[in-house]
Structure 1
Amino acid sequence: MESDELTPAERRVRAAFATGTPVDLRDSPDDDPLRDGPLWGPERTVRGEVLRALLLDAPPPGGGIPALDLAGARVTGRLDLQYATVEHPVRLRHCHFAEPPRCYAARLRELNLSESALPGLVAHAAHVEGVLRLTRAHCTGVVRLGGVHVGGSLYLEGARVLAPDAEEPVLQLNQAVIGADVWAPGLRTHGWVRLSGATVAGSVNLTDARLTGTGEAAVDAEGLTVEGQWLLRSAEVRGWLGLRGARIAGRLDLSYCRLVNPGGPGLRAGSATLGELWLRKAPPMEGTLNLRRARIGMLLLEPGSVPAEVMVADLSYGSLAPHEPAGRRLPLLARDRDGYIPQAYEELTAAYRRIGDDRAARLVQLAKQRRHRSTLPWYGRLWGHVQDATVGYGFRPLRALGWLLSLLAVGSVAFAAHHPPPLKAGEAPPFNPVFFTLDLLLPVISFGQEGAFAPAGGYQWLSYVLVLTGWILATTVVAGVTRAVSRP
């Protein structure tokens, strides 16, 4: 493009390009590209086709390092770099774009659109050798970064992507490959975000983000891989946060995070593999917590942050924090939407045993038996109530010992008042009601009383009851002691 075809602002940009000199057309650092950009006059207007020609033509001689470094411009027309290879950094900060820049499948050294106002961005399948910056950018349309390859970090801190009427994700990072971090504290979106299949070599930082989905979804990150941390501290997510099948090597930190999706899923992390999951210092999740088949190294789960409905079938975790009494953890298992899940109780039992809290482990096992009882037919439930009341399903052996002592007292008093006749007169030892009752109650000890006397009538039925209950209770005591000794 000839010099006489350029506006004064465009000539100034071209002159500075050869040496990478910044050009700032702003009247004030407080200029607002979103509000004021459409009103900027010709002195601040640069055509997209001029910028394209500048980037794709051979750089003019000058001995410097060429770069496009422009601030405060109104870019009219379309900046179209589709399939282009741009060898120079592109920095278009504090600019107002009339049309979405188009960088589909382009190869760029650096792309910086920080603090600019854009009606969208088309850059899927692009390769950015350095960093991609949208710091504090304001996008009123869809940002398409699906399949993008960024050698460095993707910066979205303080960015606004607000397109509530879009029928597709407003921020598309599906299948993206980020060589360092996704740095997006304070990000605001209206419309759902798609990260499915993306790979991040560093961490994802969404601290203080406000993500408002449309429909039910807020963030779809199915199959995401993050080699570092995913931080959602103090964030607010309206709609479900989907991490099904994701792998996060570090921690997924939802501390102080508010997840809101009433009547639907809140966090969907089924089959995910997480180094750590932190759900703490947060209001109760408004929606279902789905951790089915997830594998978590350390689960930091405060009971007060758990929603009214959970799904934890086949969930496994290496450790559980903070240490809470069993009575605080058990109600969470009762909220499982799938009903009675034996494995969930076994996992909680194992967590308590790993830290040496045997009492809590026994309480969890007792709760498991009681929950299982609710799934049985009436006769099974009846027998379960008997087991629970008498011996606590074997997890309260001292209760069984108490029953044994009570039955010993009853039998001793009854047989002291009415001595049973001897089987063989003159051969029987002197009758002792206490040891006779002990002979009936204890199946493995004999004091020579039971075989020498034969109670009749109601006392015979009393002896049958003592023998039967003695077997049950004595076995329970032995099993309880054995369980305590042989605990893994």
Structure 2
Amino acid sequence: MEINDLTPAERRVVDAFPRGEAVDFRESPDESSHDGASWGPGRTVRAEVLRNLLVGGTADEGHVAGIKLYGARITGKLDLKYAVVDHPIRMRSCWFERKPMVYGAQLRALVLGDSTLPGLTAATVRVEIVLRLSGCRIDGPVRLAGARIAGGLFLQGAVIRQGSLSDEADEPPLQLNHAEIGTDIMADGLTVHGQFRINGAGIAGQISLDGARLLNPGGIALHAETIVVGSDVRAHRLHAEGMVNLTGARIPGQVILTRARLSNPGDVALRASSAVMGEFRLHKCPTIDGIVNLRRSQFDMLWAEPSVWPPLVRTDGLSYRLLHPHLPAEERLPLLEREEDGYLPYAYEQLAAAYRTVGDEAGARTAQLAKLRRHRRTQPRHTRLWGLLQDATVGYGFRPLRAAAWLLALTVTGTVAYGITPPRALKAGEAPEFNPLFYTLDLMLPIIGFGQEGAFAPAGWYQWLSYLLIVTGWVLATTTAAGVSRSLQRQ
């Protein structure tokens, strides 16, 4: 391009480039780029002028060359496909007629903050320092699949929508699948109308989605399968319409969904199956509108109030070391009743183990007792009687004081009844002195003998009372032995 082909606006950009100086076309610092289509030739720069500078431009001695542009209207297509650009690109509050093409390019830095674009094609791009799209309005797909960014990716406050072209209608608006980010993804306040796809990506630092809005009703709002994050995923007050999919994620720090609103009615709203995470926080969230799938995942700590869980939860194979906040086991047990696959013994064992970890033996026993009661409901009716007896008498060994209460009540009953009307002696003159207390104990205790039972014979309804005491004694002894045996096996 000949120098005399440049417009006055382009001349300013060309003259500033060798020294990396800023060219600001804005009328005020807070001017929006949304109306850039109406900006006149006084602030219009052709994309081919910028490309020629970036690919072939040189720096003045003692300066760092680069484009630093504010409030420009960029016409044409900025095509840097496969280009190696050694100069930083900083184009803030600009309006782009066509989506920039940086597919496969190698860039120092790309800053497009507060700009308006019809999309960005940057799959497999290599960025040495940083990629900034903060505050951008992008009405088309942002293609960053396979990108390698040594520094951070910044998307704070950006609004990204699906493209209007027919071949873009079903394409995710934000694509970061299999990207590698050297530090963090900062996307607080991000809004995506469609799917945010980041599956298979590796982020050395954290992902921050505080206050983000991911809107894809009936579809996948966040597709983050098998991501690997170096520290945390922060999504405080996240609003997601559509599935949040964290299947197979590896996140050693915290996944913070505090006060998040997750909604996908009639389908899965949160899927974090086969994931390994340090702390998974659903603290102070409204009830999730949709199914939750946590199958086969491993959490060091699961932080969720019972009210957060929807009617259907999938927890087969879920393991966790701690539960927070610490609540009575009775408040945690209803979640296990919501399991889609029905009775899962492991779920009760896991809950008991969590209570035992914090030293709450009472909570652990309550969970174990609930497991046996739930198991009893799965058995045929004719086999439930023995379980009912064990539950009523000693709580399957977890309530040993029940046996003592039964024994005390029956002992008092027998002692009073036989004290009022003593039974007759079988051999007059040879029987020991009658003692209603020890006679009752003789009937009830199947092993210990006090010499009373064989010496006296009750009559009438007192004989039926003796039968009741004998049978009850055997039942209590047998169920107590079974409960103690089960307790010793657990220990």
**Please, what TM-score do these two structures have when normalized by structure 1?**
0.93
Alignment correspondent of 1:33:
33
Cα gap change, 1:358/1:475 in structure 2, threshold over 3 Å: closer, same or farther? Answer: farther
Using the alignment, how far apart are the partners of 1:482 and 1:369 within structure 2?
A: 15
Q: Which residue of 1 aligns with 2:423?
A: 419
Deviations 1:134-169 (Å, cap 9, x if unpaired)? 010110101011110100110000111122763021
> What is the CA deviation profile of residues 55-91 of structure 1, one whole-angstrom value per residue up to 9, with x for unaligned ones?
1114154441111111111111111111111111111
Task: Output the amino acid matched with 2:52.
Answer: A
The Cα shift of 1:480 comes to 6.4
Change (3 A) 1:288 1:214: closer
Equivalent position SS for 1:86: coil
Residue 223 of structure 2 corresponds to which residue in structure 1? 220
Q: Could you list the per-position Cα deviations for residues 319-359 of structure 1 after superposition, in whole angstroms to 9, with x for gaps in the alignment?
A: 11111112211112212222111111111111112222222
CA distance in 1, matches of 2:217, 2:104: 28
Q: Is the 8 A contact 2:211 2:239 kept in 1?
A: yes
Moved more, 176-185 or 348-357: 348-357
- The aligned runs of 1:130-149 (5 Å cut-off) are 130-149=129-148
CA distance in 2, matches of 1:249, 1:220: 19
Shift of 1:469: 2.4
Secondary structure, aligned partner of 1:323: coil
| Other structure's SS at 1:85 match | coil
Quick one: which amino acid aligns to residue 16 of structure 1? A
- Aligned counterparts, 1:362-381, within 5 A: 362-381=365-384
Report the CA distance between 1:481 and its aligned residue.
7.3
Partner of 2:16: 16
Corresponding position: 1:278 with 2:289: no
Distance in 2 between residues matched to 1:174 and 1:77, nearest whole Å: 28
Shift of 1:430: 3.2
Structure 1 residues 9, 16: CA separation in 2 closer, same or farther (over 3 Å shift)?
Answer: same
Question: Which of 337, 342, 347 lines up with 2:340 in the alignment?
Answer: 337
Partner of 2:300: 297
The answer on whether the counterparts of 1:398 and 1:477 sit within 8 Å (CA) in structure 2 is no
**Aligned-pair RMSD on alpha carbons?**
2.4
- The whole-number CA distance in structure 1 between the counterparts of 2:128 and 2:471 is 81
Identical-residue share of aligned pairs (%): 53
Q: Deviations over 1:149-192 (max 9, x none)?
A: 10011000011112276302110010010000000100011001
Q: Quick one: distance in 1 between partners of 2:217 and 2:14?
A: 43
For 2:2 and 2:469, the matched residues in 1 are separated by 112
Deviations 1:270-306 (A, max 9, x none): 1110100111112111112211111000111112222
In 2, Cα distance between equivalents of 1:311 and 1:349: 18
Q: For structure 1, which segment, 252-261 or 155-164, has the greater mean C-alpha deviation from structure 2 after superposition?
A: 155-164
**Which residue of the partner structure matches residue 69 of structure 2?**
70
Of 238, 244, 247, the residue aligned with 2:247 is: 244
Q: Which is worse superposed, 451-460 or 211-220?
A: 451-460
Aligned to 1:95: 94
Secondary structure of the residue aligned to 2:54 is: helix
Q: Distance in 1 between matches of 2:6 and 2:440?
A: 113
Provide the C-alpha distance between the structure 2 equivalents of 1:449 and 1:266, rounded to a whole number of angstroms: 69
Distance 1:134 1:335 in 2: 43
Cα deviation for residue 311 of structure 1 reads 1.2
Inter-CA distance 112–138: structure 2 relative to 1 (3 Å threshold): same
* Contact residue 401 and residue 473 of structure 1 kept, 8 A: no
Cα deviation digits, residues 183-239 of structure 1 (max 9, x gap): 010001100111100011001100011110143210010001111110110121111
In structure 2, the partner of 1:161 is 160
Partner in structure 2 of residue 439 of structure 1:
442
Corresponding residue of 1:7: 7
Counterpart residue identity of residue 145, structure 2: G
Does the CA-based 8 Å contact 1:164-1:214 persist in structure 2?
no
Bigger shift: 356-365 or 469-478? Answer: 469-478
Q: Is 2:187 aligned against 1:184?
A: yes
In 1, distance between residues paired with 2:212 and 2:290? 19
2:261 paired with 1:262: no
Would the aligned equivalents of 1:216 and 1:264 in 2 still touch at CA under 8 Å?
no
Whole-Å separation in 2 of the counterparts to 1:481 and 1:383: 16
| Cα distance in 2 between the residues matched to 1:402 and 1:134 | 71
Give me the whole-angstrom Cα distance separating, in 2, the residues matched to 1:13 and 1:350.
67
The match for 2:354 among 351, 355, 361 is 351
**Residue type matched to 2:297 in 1?**
A
1:386 deviation in Å? 3.6
AA at the equivalent of 2:334:
P
Match of 1:399 in 2: 402
Tell me how far apart the structure 2 counterparts of residues 221 and 450 of structure 1 sit (CA, whole Å): 75
Counterparts of 1:193 and 1:171 in 2: how far apart (Å)? 5
Whether the aligned pair in 2 keeps the contact of 1:190 and 1:214 (CA below 8 Å) is no
2:78 maps to amino acid: L
On the 8 A contact 2:284/2:304 being kept in 1, the answer is no
Q: Which runs of 5+ in 2 are unaligned?
A: none
- CA positional deviation for 1:413: 4.7
Contact 1:192 1:214 survives alignment (8 Å): no
For 1:399-428, what per-residue CA distance to the aligned partner results, in whole angstroms no more than 9, with x for missing partners? 221211222234345555352654x77654
How far apart, CA to CA, are the structure 1 residues paired with 2:163 and 2:282? 29
How many Å separate the matches in 2 of 1:54 and 1:150?
23
CA contact (8 A) 2:132 2:155 kept: yes
- Offset, 1:254: 0.7
Q: Give the partner amino acid of 1:133.
A: R
Counterparts of 1:428-467 in structure 2 under 5 Å?
428-452=431-455, 462-467=465-470
Q: How many angstroms does 1:94 deviate by?
A: 0.6
CA contact (8 A) 1:298 1:320 kept: yes
Choose 342-351 or 184-193, whichever is displaced more. Answer: 342-351
Higher deviation after alignment, 309-318 or 140-149: 309-318
Contact 2:390–2:479 under 8 Å retained in 1: no
Question: Counterparts of 2:386 and 2:473 in 1: how far apart (Å)?
Answer: 17
Moved more, 356-365 or 229-238: 356-365
Which stretch of the first structure deviates more once superposed, 21-30 or 268-277? 21-30
Distance in 1, Cα, partners of 2:424 & 2:223? 79
C-alpha separation between the residues in 2 aligned to 1:202 and 1:173?
15
From 310, 315, 327, give the equivalent of 1:312.
Answer: 315
Distance in 2 (CA, whole Å) between partners of 1:324 and 1:366 is 17
Residue 106 (1) aligns with residue 105 (2): yes
**What is the one-letter code of the residue matched to 2:125?**
A
